[in-house]
Homo-oligomer: A and B are copies of this chain.
Amino acid sequence: MRCEVVAIGTELLLGQIVDTNSSWIGEQLALSGIDCHWHTRVGDNHRRMVDVLRLALDRNDAVIVCGGLGPTQDDITREAVAEVMGVELETDHVVLDRIVSMFGSRGREMAASNARQADVPVGAAVMDRQPGTAPGLICPVTVDGTAKVIYAVPGVPYEMTELVTCCVMPDLRARAGASSVILSRTLRTWGMAESTLAEVLAPRVDSLEAAGNPTIAFLASGIEGIKVRVTAKAPTEAAATRLIDAEEAEVRVVLGDLVFGVDDETMEHSVQHLLAQRRLTLGIAESLTGGLIGARFTAVPGASAVFRGSLVTYSSEVKRDLLDLGPGPVVSEEAAMAMAAAARTMLGADVGIAATGVAGPEPQEGQKPGTVWFGIDMGALGDGEPEATLVRLPGDRDRVRQFAAISLLALLRQKLLASP
């Protein structure tokens, strides 16, 4: 069973609205094991809508068309679907009654234009549910002797999700005689380029290729690292989960600690978890990141159990006055070590980390943008001395700052993993 998603609306083409509906529908189709090879967006133009629907019916068994069912003149999905079906529109009195009573219950008068929403192509079935004034339609179409179907749902997200969940997917699954489930799990990695990751995992990818299930895909996510996604198809959810569990174990053998999280878990989740496990608290001293590291760390609920605070010593004078830094350069090994030590002692934390560097666009102290020193003071866990690390980060001001934040957290993660 193959299904295309068609999103209707000139505002989507003009970029005035981001089309999140197609993505959401795509995910539902994938989870039901229904192939979706194309998403198409087309504006509120009758001729082009008809052409897009015909092409979609040619190359698929089913089409979900989303949007263009409203009351205004530019809502013409009803007319386009009717032309593709080769039928007329007629008023559906069940739908009309629903719309009238919907306005009545809100104490509002129904505008004449809303009556258009009850126009339904002859032969189309109206969906049982109707969360808004637009009905969902199940429209049978015969293409070269083959029975196919168009589902028309409104573009308002909460109406669309209800109708797709309750009416479209069950109908589609029944037509597909669906007997399989597709599940995905994302392993998030840091510290290896996408190409290298692909190389070290090539044996896994090759060994999976013959069976084609599960599969592995790579996804570069910029400052959030590289994602490795394992997808499996099976008759039941439990069986798909078992396939993913087994493949995750294989991937983890190869990648080890490069995997810092699963699905939505960020680097700060991982660091927070490691600190909590070891009953350690964290203090930060930040310069070029301006508070970003503290902000990321505290985005995770529960941060208060391990996070003491951050000293954002942005100006050089504040570094010297507040942290008691010497007269040397502030983008330096010494400064990073002193900042980490000050973060630990002044904030009363077990571990102190620090970042000082040049975000750009201008150089500082003769150093190029992207030059960043990290400091880590492991306190009682370490050998008594803070450590410093120099990195050169790519990109503009924003990327250098973002990279610095996640890189320092990644460095702390390694230290914590290496500590008992």
Q: Which of A199, A347, A359 has the most CB of B within 10 A?
A: A347
CB under 8 Å from chain B, chain A span 9-42: 10-20, 22-28, 30, 36-42
Residues of B within 8 A of A284 (CB): 312
B37 contacts A48, C-beta separation under 8 Å: yes
Query: In the bound complex, how far is the Cα of B216 from the Cα of A74, in angstroms?
Result: 11
Query: In the bound complex, how far is the Cα of B258 from the Cα of A136, in angstroms?
Result: 31
Judged by a CB distance under 8 angstroms, whether A289 is at the interface is yes
A26 contacts B38, C-beta separation under 8 Å: no
Q: Which of A52, A108, A112, A195 has the most CB of B within 10 A?
A: A195
Judged by a CB distance under 8 angstroms, whether A146 is at the interface is no
Residues A217 and B10 in contact in the complex (CB < 8 Å), given A156-B222, A195-B114, A294-B312: yes
Of B102, B195, B304, which is within 8 A of A111 by CB? B195
A40 contacts B37, C-beta separation under 8 Å: no
Query: In the bound complex, how far is the Cα of B398 from the Cα of A170, in angstroms?
Result: 26
Interface string of A126-144 (1 = CB under 8 A from B): 0000000000000000000
Q: Which of A219, A229, A314 has the most CB of B within 10 A?
A: A314
Residues of B within 8 A of A156 (CB): 220, 222
Query: In the bound complex, how far is the Cα of B28 from the Cα of A38, in angstroms?
Result: 23
Residues of B within 8 A of A27 (CB): 14-16
Judged by a CB distance under 8 angstroms, whether A307 is at the interface is yes
Residues A310 and B290 in contact in the complex (CB < 8 Å), given A18-B20, A106-B394: yes
Residues of B within 8 A of A57 (CB): none
Query: In the bound complex, how far is the Cα of B160 from the Cα of A222, in angstroms?
Result: 13
Residues of B within 8 A of A295 (CB): 289-292, 294-295, 401
Judged by a CB distance under 8 angstroms, whether A213 is at the interface is no
Query: In the bound complex, how far is the Cα of B201 from the Cα of A338, in angstroms?
Result: 55
Chain copies in the assembly? 2
Interface string of A270-312 (1 = CB under 8 A from B): 0000000000010010101111111101110101100111111
CB under 8 Å from chain B, chain A span 88-115: 102, 105-114
Judged by a CB distance under 8 angstroms, whether A196 is at the interface is yes
Residues of B within 8 A of A309 (CB): 311-315, 318, 322
A113 contacts B195, C-beta separation under 8 Å: yes
Query: In the bound complex, how far is the Cα of B359 from the Cα of A113, in angstroms?
Result: 31
Residues of B within 8 A of A312 (CB): 284, 291, 294, 309-312
Q: How far is the CB of A383 from chain B (nearest CB, A)?
A: 26
Q: How far is the CB of A417 from chain B (nearest CB, A)?
A: 22
A290 contacts B294, C-beta separation under 8 Å: yes
B17 contacts A361, C-beta separation under 8 Å: no
Across the interface, name the chain B residue whose C-beta is closest to A39.
B41
Query: In the bound complex, how far is the Cα of B312 from the Cα of A313, in angstroms?
Result: 10
Q: How far is the CB of A187 from chain B (nearest CB, A)?
A: 13
Q: How far is the CB of A264 from chain B (nearest CB, A)?
A: 12
Judged by a CB distance under 8 angstroms, whether A365 is at the interface is no
Of B15, B108, B111, B195, which is within 8 A of A199 by CB? B111
Query: In the bound complex, how far is the Cα of B303 from the Cα of A292, in angstroms?
Result: 14
Residues A299 and B310 in contact in the complex (CB < 8 Å), given A42-B37, A45-B37, A220-B70: no
B38 contacts A217, C-beta separation under 8 Å: no
Interface string of A179-217 (1 = CB under 8 A from B): 000001010000001111011000001000000000001
Residues of B within 8 A of A395 (CB): 158
9 more A-B residue pairs beyond the given contacts A310-B312, A312-B312, A318-B348, with a C-beta to C-beta distance below 8 A: A14-B184, A16-B27, A19-B23, A72-B218, A108-B193, A112-B199, A114-B193, A114-B195, A291-B297
List residues of chain A with CB under 8 Å of any chain B CB. Answer: 10-20, 22-28, 30, 36-43, 45, 48, 52, 55, 70-74, 102, 105-114, 156, 158, 184, 186, 193-196, 198-199, 205, 217-220, 222, 229, 281, 284, 286, 288-295, 297-299, 301, 303-304, 307-315, 317-318, 321-322, 346-348, 359-362, 392, 394-395, 397-399, 401
The 9 closest A-B pairs by CB, nearest first: A290-B298, A291-B294, A291-B291, A15-B27, A111-B195, A310-B312, A15-B26, A39-B41, A291-B295
